[in-house]
Structure 1
Amino acid sequence: MKLASLKNGSRDGVLVVVSRDLERAVPVPHVARTMQEAIERWTEVEPKLQEIYRDLCAGRMPAVVAFDAAQAESPLPRSFQWLDGSAYLSHVELVRQARGVEMAKELYKEPLMYQGDSEYFVGPRDPILAADEGWGIDLEGEVAVIVDDVPMQVTQEDAGKHIKLFMLVNDISLRHVIPAELNKGFGFLNGKGQTAFSPVAVTPDEFGSAWNGRKLDLSLTVHVNGRQLGQPKAGVDMYFDFPTLIAHATKTRPLGAGTVIGSGTISNHDRSNGFACLSEARALETVAKGAPSTSFMKFGDSVRIEMFDDDGRSIFGAIDQRIERYVPARAA
């Protein structure tokens, strides 16, 4: 099943069921008005939404509208909690190698995870706003899951049962802002810019054998300014799988329904697969040549993130964004 939130002037949009081919959609206010409402009542509403989805895909659903990703919010336009992990240690290893910093043993024992800004996710076709190109604007292509209520200290064996939906992510990092924040010894805040998610969220059953309950075995295709940056495999080199990330997040607290958990930048040890962020390309250049030649993104640059099934069909639709200068509104 595929779900989306269409823009309607409110903060949370309106929930729609989207056809498998991403061509058609039907609003479902009689089932759940918003994605947050649906995830909070998932046991009750999921069978009803699945029935609508089957009818929609079979052409039996009246009163449908054309699905336009440009009119979509992120599936959850805002969330009570956004937790982003760092599950692909090949990303961390390469970046640290370029900086001449060794990997601490603790990094192999439990995942890095930060709590990000979740009250204003931007839509998959909305611009990425930044005030200064000098901030080192970078994309991060990821996979994320939405969970229902998860108890504190859930086991890894039970954690996967709480995954209800998948999304793609563009988690913007401001690489020249982050170091100064980390040097303070208290994590980063301003170093993370706006975050966008794919046009639709997808239930696990849509992936067939590509989802084994722990990892999603598909490639993520990333383009910058129309040129492919990489096609790393999400199911390869994921050192901490999704149940592990969820269990880690519940070590000292429960998670509320609608919590979003990201995988971190998808990365492979096989560098021929390319990259899902610019910092990895720059790190590899630094290791090989002593200095990076790839630039971070500038105003007017574009980024496209997408995932395809084995038949070449887009699963989530594309995150397709441009970098734009943020201009503060003038006081009246």
Structure 2
Amino acid sequence: MSHEDGAAPDTTAFAIGTFTSEAGAFPGFVVDGQVRDIREVLPEIRTTGDLFAEWESNLDALQAVVADPDERARLGGVPVEGVGVLPPVQPIGPILAAGANYREHILQMSVVHKLGRSDATDEELWAEAAAENDERRRSGDPYIWTGIPSAVSGAFDDVQLPDVGDDIDWEVELGVVIGRTAHRVAAEDAYDVVAGYTIVNDITSRTLVPRTDMALIGTDWFRAKNQPTFFPTGPYLVPARFVPDPTALRIQLRLNGEIKQDATTDDLLFDIPSLIAYASSIAILRPGDLLITGSPPGNGSHWKRFLRDGDVMEASITGLGAQRNVVRGPSGTVPPWQASRVSAVS
């Protein structure tokens, strides 16, 4: 909702979220740090997910309130700091996650993980990966995998380190919320199905990614990325009408106050329309589905520093708000399945 390109900010802009008070969870809209209950304007809306049925007209109704000082005063409002903050879209839907989709990040990982000729220098690995990925952008497909709703947590929730899996890594990403049913959408029409944008931190257990016992499959994204709290999301859904250029957003992550990720969304290998066109060529996308667009460089794998008990992650994207998550150590109790196979899993 902020503009860094010199354009005047939209004074009727707002964000949408799901909040909790003593009365329970409620859908809200946020203006100048104040939360107001959407149900006071649109009584038929019980959750933020209900907004998608008439997305544009519902936004128009909320925007009319924001533009009217008397209406805003009538509704009152409470500071965001005075309520709990849940993932913004409720009920939570599936996650469609683009992997290896920031060019510089891909090149960093190619060097860190020695993805290439065994006798290649770091410079050669970088150059060869650059050529391969430029060709993939011209003629290949994005890589998309799926996340499950139970792994999603709030923007200010603790992140729980698992009892099985090590080298827990951060990956702050731009999240794209789908606003209408989409199947076989052309890239030039893709922005028509976007409801808005949010922040997602795609937490990963690096030691659980490889599947050395199944060489033909190779990787296991389910176990590496779908553990509880592994997708801090929000705090808000910012409608697309208030994000004039999603390719010009700055993504940052600080670990204990130190910048680890700092990039802009213009380095995507496959841009947002391409991701939507590809994903919808295979699956039917539904309102509320969350497409995360890939991580920029600066992950723990690059820094050779992974998450520890007590760490504090602070993530932000231009105009979309900020997250703050405290990392908590493993519980100390291994699940029964892994306990019976303890030698097979790191």
TM-score (norm 2): 0.77
The answer to whether the Cα contact below 8 Å between 1:301 and 1:323 also exists between their aligned partners in 2 is yes
Q: CA deviation at 1:174?
A: 0.7
Q: CA deviation at 1:43?
A: 3.7
Q: CA deviation at 1:230?
A: 3.0
Which 5+ residue runs of structure 2 have no aligned equivalent?
1-13, 117-128, 335-346
| Secondary structure in 2 matching 1:26 | strand
The answer to whether the Cα contact below 8 Å between 1:31 and 1:45 also exists between their aligned partners in 2 is no
Alignment of 1:1-332 (within 5 A): 1-7=14-20, 13-19=25-31, 21=32, 23-29=33-39, 30-55=43-68, 59-68=72-81, 71-86=84-99, 87-102=101-116, 103=129, 107-108=136-137, 109-132=140-163, 135-180=166-211, 183=215, 185=217, 187-192=220-225, 193=227, 194-208=230-244, 211=245, 215-235=246-266, 237-267=267-297, 275=298, 277-281=299-303, 294-308=304-318, 315-327=319-331
Measure the CA separation in 2 of the matches of 1:326 and 1:56.
49
Measure the CA separation in 2 of the matches of 1:178 and 1:298.
19
Q: CA deviation at 1:195?
A: 0.3
Measure the CA separation in 1 of the matches of 2:271 and 2:234.
21
CA deviation digits over 1:61-108, x for unaligned, max 9?
Answer: 433111128610111254332101132132122212222224466743
| Secondary structure in 2 matching 1:232 | strand
Amino acid at match of 2:323: I
Measure the CA separation in 2 of the matches of 1:44 and 1:301.
42
Which 5+ residue runs of structure 1 have no aligned equivalent?
268-274, 282-293, 309-314
Amino acid at match of 2:59: E
Distance 1:90 1:78, change over 3 A: farther
Q: Whose radius of gyration is greater, 1 or 2?
A: 2
Of 159-168 and 27-36, more deviation after overlay is shown by 27-36
Percent identity over the alignment? 20
Measure the CA separation in 1 of the matches of 2:76 and 2:45.
17
Distance 1:221 1:55, change over 3 A: farther
The answer to whether the Cα contact below 8 Å between 2:174 and 2:317 also exists between their aligned partners in 1 is no
The answer to whether the Cα contact below 8 Å between 1:70 and 1:125 also exists between their aligned partners in 2 is no
Q: CA deviation at 1:326?
A: 4.5
Measure the CA separation in 2 of the matches of 1:15 and 1:35.
5
The answer to whether the Cα contact below 8 Å between 1:6 and 1:13 also exists between their aligned partners in 2 is yes
The answer to whether the Cα contact below 8 Å between 1:125 and 1:320 also exists between their aligned partners in 2 is yes
Distance 1:183 1:107, change over 3 A: farther
Indicate the residue corresponding to 1:272 in structure 2.
Answer: none
Distance 1:162 1:61, change over 3 A: farther
Measure the CA separation in 2 of the matches of 1:61 and 1:307.
31
| Secondary structure in 1 matching 2:108 | helix
Measure the CA separation in 1 of the matches of 2:57 and 2:150.
26
The answer to whether the Cα contact below 8 Å between 1:154 and 1:250 also exists between their aligned partners in 2 is yes
Amino acid at match of 1:202: V
| Secondary structure in 2 matching 1:13 | strand
Q: CA deviation at 1:45?
A: 1.7
Structure with greater proportional helix content: 2
